[in-house]
Amino acid sequence: MLARASGPDDLARLLAGSALAPLGATAVVLALREPDGALRLVGSHGADARRLSQWRRIPPLRVLPLTEAVRSGTAVWVHDRAEFAARYPDLGGADLVPGQSVCALPLRVRGRVTGAMKLGWPEPYTPDPAAEAFLADLADLCADRLDRLARAAGASRPAVQPWFRAVVDTLLDPVLVLGAVHDADGRTVDLVVEHANTATVDLAGRTAADLAGRRLSELYPGMVAAGIFRHILDTATTGVPYTGASEQFTEVVEGAVRTSAMTLRAAPYPDGALLTWRAHDEQRRRESQLDQAQRLARLGTWGWEAGSARIGCSPEALRLLGLPGDDRTGATPGEALAAVAPADRAAVRDAAGRLFGGESPATIEFRAGRDGARHLRVLAEAEPGPAGEAPSAVHGVLQDVTRWRRAEQALAGTRNRLADQRRRTEAEHRAVEALQSALTSAPAGPLPTGLESAVRYLAAEREGRVGGDWYDVLPLPDGTVLVVAGDVSGHGLAAAARMAGLRYALRGLAYTGAEPGDLLGRLNRMLCHQHADHTATAVCGRLDPATGVLRWARAGHLPPLLSREGTARLLDPPEGLLLGAVPRAGYATAELRLHPGDVLLLYTDGLVVRRGADLGGRLARLRLAVDEYRAGDLDGCLDHVLRRMAAPSALDDTCLVGLRLRTPAGPGDGPIVENRAPARTGGPA
């Protein structure tokens, strides 16, 4: 049964509907453990949407039944709400799952706790031993299915993430990311190289590209024969790190025997291990690498021993000071001081005096060369001599910071410009937010008796991405209600200002009593006459609550959705281009009779449009979200739809308007009727 689950939510639904129904449990929440120990909610059934949103990620130190089950590895039972409030006073009685009794069970995969499952009973429940054993077995089955779903999605393998590979590639030592290979019984029998960092070169001279995708036992049979392979396999299985210090490694490569002494370490990794090593016969190569690193970093080292007449300097330190010689001869203190710009020599002498006087470490920055064009920084540390005597030695690092100082000068020149730009941007953003808040909360007067409305307006997740979405629910003098949802092209203050103009223009036109198609036609001619540099989409309707008749039109906008008796469908859209494109475009008016209890949803494209996603599939998901909501309240329906549609969008605002007719629609009730009036071409209204 659980094998049919297509995702974590579907798995929770199957658990509640089939496996847990005989025990009376009605709510299920599934959580997976993240690398830092936190729990991430991945699936649910029967739980409150708002609670799920608030507890999407649970910190590892938070005391909850779920976290207790993960830490202890045992089931955690809370038999009633009074016990829950006493054990978790910080929560104030609030919980993820509804009901009286709750139970949190650890989820294990191959002996490791990978997450937890929480169940809820509407009435107090005390399990017998058979029920507890059943729930433990069910948790194991659920953990296995969740692990398979995560593997199919690639979410449980850090090695597939570019950031993880980038971090490993910065290490100077070789690193192999090893994934476990399991037999038919689920036991770890081998390890495969999922990734090797750029520093990887083994005894055979093979690089990362040669090792990726191959099994460890095939690559290094000598490691298997020596028993080292078994230690690495144990690390992947038990999670206990392994260190082999100064072990002798021997491999036969193309008939030749290669031997090296090295220190090898294996660390646990999700369903695998990380393997790194350092060969002790590479000391000379590393010294060469250090010299190269000093040249690249423009950094040199120096030192002075008590009684010596010269300062030992690395080649890079001599070059930075502009002194002749090499690292064998170094430089005298007088030569080193002469390399300092005259204006900074007194400060250097003072720093040397403090260093030999016992102040250690000491740092000073000075200019070098006659023109002082090069900026150098010295960090020095003294080795104390016998009690009361001068230091026995002084060592330090010399670094070229010229580029940093020049960069600071350039940054200082741009800092004020950036501050001014930030102030302008913040002012514009505050103005846009204030404008949108004023527009979306503009008073419209009470709705006629028998008509219920609800609205949700969500700004885009990306900071500063304020758009031109708008809506209106406006009672008119003739007893009808104007309902509108629209979207102006563009973002920012300009788009919000354009939206304001269209919104209030449409409000004014609505008082003329014109049909919705005529209203959109006049709005279109206004935009085209003004030679506006923007376009807009809109859906506009006039609803008569007394008769239930809705006459509506649209201009390039997605059609409304009607839910009747638990079945939702998109209305067949009448003809109508977007506003501001063609001066004499025609806009047809369609007619629809609403029944008591019907729910009508108008929305902007931020609800359904996602980059790379099929629009038809997203609209089908919207219909399914409305169909599955059975609670009956309009506000709850809108919240449920927004959660199922993963709103808000990252790039666009989301507007959702809901209407429900509560009073009888009068004589003539019947099936849905959509009468489309002929489209009118542009011209005087």
Can you give the pLDDT at residue 638?
A: 95
- Determine the Cα–Cα distance for residues 84 and 597; give it in Å rounded to an integer: 39
Can you give the pLDDT at residue 545?
A: 94
Residue reference for tokens 């031997």: 259
Residue 677 pLDDT level (bands cut at 50, 70, 90): very low
Q: What sign has the CA pseudo-torsion 349, 354, 357, 359? A: negative
In sequence order, the β-bridge partners of residue 568 are 563
Tell whether the model's pLDDT for residue 411 goes beyond 80.
yes
- Determine the Cα–Cα distance for residues 312 and 305; give it in Å rounded to an integer: 9
Can you give the pLDDT at residue 680?
A: 37
Tell whether the model's pLDDT for residue 441 goes beyond 70.
no
Q: How many CB atoms lie within 10 A of CB 681?
A: 12
Q: What is the DSSP string of 428-454?
A: HHHHHHHHHHHHHT----PPPTTEEEE
Can you give the pLDDT at residue 35?
A: 65
**Greatest pairwise CA separation for the chain in angstroms:** 114
Cβ neighbours of residue 203 under 8 Å, at least 6 residues apart? 249, 251, 253, 258, 259, 260
List pLDDT tens digits, range 183-204: 877 788 999 998 999 999 887 7
The two tokens of residue 169 are 């590639």
- Determine the Cα–Cα distance for residues 237 and 223; give it in Å rounded to an integer: 18
Closest by Cα among 488, 475, 485 to 447: 475
- Determine the Cα–Cα distance for residues 490 and 499; give it in Å rounded to an integer: 10
User: Strand 362-368 vs strand 256-269: parallel, antiparallel, or unpaired?
Assistant: unpaired
- Determine the Cα–Cα distance for residues 204 and 266; give it in Å rounded to an integer: 20
Can you give the pLDDT at residue 5?
A: 78
Tell whether the model's pLDDT for residue 670 goes beyond 50.
no
In sequence order, the β-bridge partners of residue 539 are 485, 554
Can you give the pLDDT at residue 203?
A: 77
pLDDT, mean of residues 398-409: 83
Residue 665 pLDDT level (bands cut at 50, 70, 90): very low
Closest by Cα among 545, 573, 578, 531 to 476: 545
- Determine the Cα–Cα distance for residues 516 and 524; give it in Å rounded to an integer: 12
Can you give the pLDDT at residue 462?
A: 60
- Determine the Cα–Cα distance for residues 457 and 312; give it in Å rounded to an integer: 70
Using CA atoms, how far residue 391 sits from 335, 357, 359, 439, in Å, is: 22, 8, 10, 75
Residue 548 pLDDT level (bands cut at 50, 70, 90): very high
Cβ neighbours of residue 161 under 8 Å, at least 6 residues apart? none
Residue reference for tokens 């064998």: 328
Cβ neighbours of residue 675 under 8 Å, at least 6 residues apart? 590, 591
Residue 449 pLDDT level (bands cut at 50, 70, 90): confident
Residue 365 burial (C-beta neighbours within 10 Å; 0-12, 13-18, 19+)? middle
Tell whether the model's pLDDT for residue 594 goes beyond 90.
yes
pLDDT, mean of residues 645-667: 80
Can you give the pLDDT at residue 658?
A: 96
SS3 594: coil
Residue 170 backbone phi and psi in degrees, to 5? -80, -15
Under a CB-based contact definition with an 8 Å cutoff, are residues 461 and 648 in contact? Answer: yes
Can you give the pLDDT at residue 256?
A: 59
Candidate ranges 112-116, 424-428, 574-578; pick with highest mean pLDDT: 574-578
The two tokens of residue 82 are 């009074």
pLDDT > 90 in the chain, percent: 33
For the ranges 136-150, 322-336, 459-473, 626-640, the lowest mean pLDDT is seen at: 459-473
Task: Render the burial of 61-99: b for 16+ CB within 10 Å, e for the rest.
Answer: eeebbbbbbbbeeebbbbbbeeebeeebeeeeeebbbeb
User: Strand 393-400 vs strand 299-305: parallel, antiparallel, or unpaired?
Assistant: antiparallel
Tell me what the pLDDT averaged over the chain comes to.
83
Q: What is the DSSP string of 485-539?
A: EEEEEEEHHHHHHHHHHHHHHHHHHHTTT--HHHHHHHHHHHHHHTT-S--EEEE
Under a CB-based contact definition with an 8 Å cutoff, are residues 381 and 394 in contact? Answer: yes
Can you give the pLDDT at residue 679?
A: 38
List pLDDT tens digits, range 372-390: 678 888 888 887 777 667 7
pLDDT, mean of residues 595-611: 93
pLDDT, mean of residues 516-540: 92
Cis bond leading into 648, ω under 30°? Answer: yes
Under a CB-based contact definition with an 8 Å cutoff, are residues 143 and 33 in contact? Answer: no
Under a CB-based contact definition with an 8 Å cutoff, are residues 65 and 81 in contact? Answer: no
Tell whether the model's pLDDT for residue 230 goes beyond 70.
yes
Tell whether the model's pLDDT for residue 454 goes beyond 70.
yes
Closest by Cα among 484, 570, 548 to 520: 484
Tell whether the model's pLDDT for residue 29 goes beyond 90.
yes
Q: Which amino acid is at 189?
A: V
List pLDDT tens digits, range 280-306: 655 555 656 666 777 777 788 888 887
Tell whether the model's pLDDT for residue 684 goes beyond 50.
no
Can you give the pLDDT at residue 676?
A: 39
Can you give the pLDDT at residue 463?
A: 54
pLDDT, mean of residues 609-615: 90
Residue reference for tokens 């470490």: 361
Tell whether the model's pLDDT for residue 573 goes beyond 90.
yes
Would you report the helix, strand and coil content of the chain in percent, each value rounded to 5?
A: 35, 30, 35
pLDDT, mean of residues 491-510: 85
Tell whether the model's pLDDT for residue 173 goes beyond 70.
yes
CA torsion 278-279-284-287 (nearest 10°) is 0
Can you give the pLDDT at residue 673?
A: 38
List pLDDT tens digits, range 55-107: 888 888 888 999 999 988 899 999 988 889 888 888 877 788 888 999 999 99
- Determine the Cα–Cα distance for residues 631 and 402; give it in Å rounded to an integer: 68
Tell whether the model's pLDDT for residue 554 goes beyond 70.
yes
For the ranges 141-150, 574-583, 599-608, the lowest mean pLDDT is seen at: 141-150
For the ranges 103-112, 334-343, 433-442, the lowest mean pLDDT is seen at: 433-442
The two tokens of residue 205 are 């001279």
Tell whether the model's pLDDT for residue 675 goes beyond 70.
no
Tell whether the model's pLDDT for residue 672 goes beyond 50.
no
Tell whether the model's pLDDT for residue 589 goes beyond 90.
yes
Q: How many CB atoms lie within 10 A of CB 672?
A: 14
pLDDT > 70 in the chain, percent: 86
Residue reference for tokens 């990887």: 200
- Determine the Cα–Cα distance for residues 450 and 468; give it in Å rounded to an integer: 31
Residue 563 pLDDT level (bands cut at 50, 70, 90): very high
Q: How many CB atoms lie within 10 A of CB 599?
A: 22
The two tokens of residue 414 are 């741009």
